Amino acid sequence: PPTMTVKELADSLGASAADVIRTLMQNGIMATINQQIDYDTAEIIASELGYETRLVVPQTDEEKLLAELEEEQKRVSKGVLQPRPPVITVMGHVDHGKTKLLDTIRKTNVVAGEAGGITQHIGAYQVEYQGRKITFLDTPGHEAFTAMRARGAQVTDIVVLVVAADDGVRPQTLEALAHARAANVPIVVAINKIDREGANPDRVKQQLSEQGLVPDDWGGDTPFIPVSALTGEGIQDLLSILLLVADMRELKADPTRLAEGTIIEAHLDPNQGPTATVLVQNGTLKPRDFVLVGSVTGRIRVMFDDKGQKLRKAEPSTPARIIGLEGVPEAGDKLLVVTDEKLAKQVALQRAKAAQAAALVSNRPASLEELFKNA
């Protein structure tokens, strides 16, 4: 908790230190002039001395930046909430067909007017189905997903749990299920590889029912959709159900705000420098925007969509590959468009220092015993 010295309190009130010390004593606190007292105590003493002013806890640069940003948002936002596309993550056991499923969806449902672009691997992409956009996050790997959640990044609206019909529920299926439940989002099960000999969709339903994930046609509330990522069978049904589940969540965002988003993937490109894929979650991101991302800042020089086409703007639920950051952020880092460049740089620096200090602490031998062992 924040503290101040007795002298600082006296000075800020314009009272004498002696008066402050006496009042403290009357409250059972023995403190000398240079001793620290907490803000709650300071406030009580101030009011007993007859001061009505509320003590303002000094803001950190980070709080200052956020407060400024909030003012700025009020200024620029028209306060309109508009429907946004759902963001969907595909998870499941290794080899059960996550990538193939996404490829098939992508090949048959490219956003109108974008066909022919070269496919880029940016970890996220958008398709259009029945005139509506759907954003898919390439299965980020369970570790990345866990890391992102641990950092408070909530990026997905719906999880598609892929289970191969010829293999059934496996350890990573259960792990994925646990992740989806922890994220507290609806689950849609895609029973994949139904074209295979030995495919047994009912067994998948049975196994997942045992985990409390009961198919809607068995009286539960989870859609199970039989599909084949190979032949394309059932893919349209899957997309329809995803839109239906999304509609029940009434997903909305305000495109008139300064953008906020989460980093999905980032790396150092040998030609373009630091490159990151951001999922815009609120507001609209534009080239020339100045951003704070974790402990990195930068001005967006250019943005691309998942086809490698230049983007002039990225609205809510749009994934964009951005160039112009001064360093490489981490997956799960929050991106904020900011207007106070200087303050943002300061905050970035402080975050970097804090991260460094934390790393030092965690690298220290855990106990004395260990210290001796290493000696």
> C-beta of 312: minimal distance to ligand GTP in Å?
33
Residue 40: which of Mg ion, ligand GTP, none does it interact with, CB under 5 to 8 A by kind?
none
Burial code of 297-324, b = ≥16 C-beta within 10 A, e = fewer? bbebeebbbbbeeebeebbbbbbbbbbb
**Is residue 98 annotated as involved in ligand binding?**
yes
Q: Which stretch, 15-23, 92-100, 142-150, 258-266, contacts Mg ion (CB under 5 A)?
A: 92-100
217 annotated ligand binder = no
Q: Which is nearer to ligand GTP, 228 or 277 (CB)?
A: 228
3-state helix, strand, coil in the chain (%, to 5): 35, 25, 40
- Listed residue (300, 303, 301, 297) closest to 340, CA to CA: 297
Ranges assigned E (strand) in the chain:
3-5, 36-38, 82-83, 87-92, 124-129, 132-137, 158-164, 187-192, 224-226, 252-253, 260-269, 273-282, 290-293, 296-304, 319-325, 334-337
Check whether 104 is labelled as a binding-site residue.
no
List the one residue from 99, 120, 207, 236 that touches Mg ion (CB under 5 A).
Answer: 99
The residue (of 181 and 196) whose beta carbon lies closer to ligand GTP is 196
Beta strands 87-92 and 132-137 are parallel
Residues 49-108 that bind ligand GTP (CB under 6 A): 92, 94-100
* Residue that is written with structure tokens 């991302």 in the block: 293
Nearest approach, Cβ of 162 to ligand GTP (angstroms)?
A: 6
Annotated binding-site residue? 261: no
Our finding on whether 237 is near ligand GTP (CB under 6 A) is no
Q: How many residues lie near ligand GTP (CB under 6 A)?
A: 15
172 binds Mg ion (CB under 5 A): no
Which residues inside 180-219 make contact with ligand GTP, applying CB under 6 A?
192-193, 195-196
Judge whether 100 and 94 are in contact, CB under 8 Å: no
138 known member of a binding site? yes
Q: Which of 138, 137, 139 is closest to 93 using CA atoms?
A: 139
**Where is the binding site, in residues?**
92-99, 138-142, 192-195
Which residues of the chain form contacts with ligand GTP (CB under 6 A)?
92, 94-100, 192-193, 195-196, 228-230
Which residues of the chain form contacts with Mg ion (CB under 5 A)?
98-99
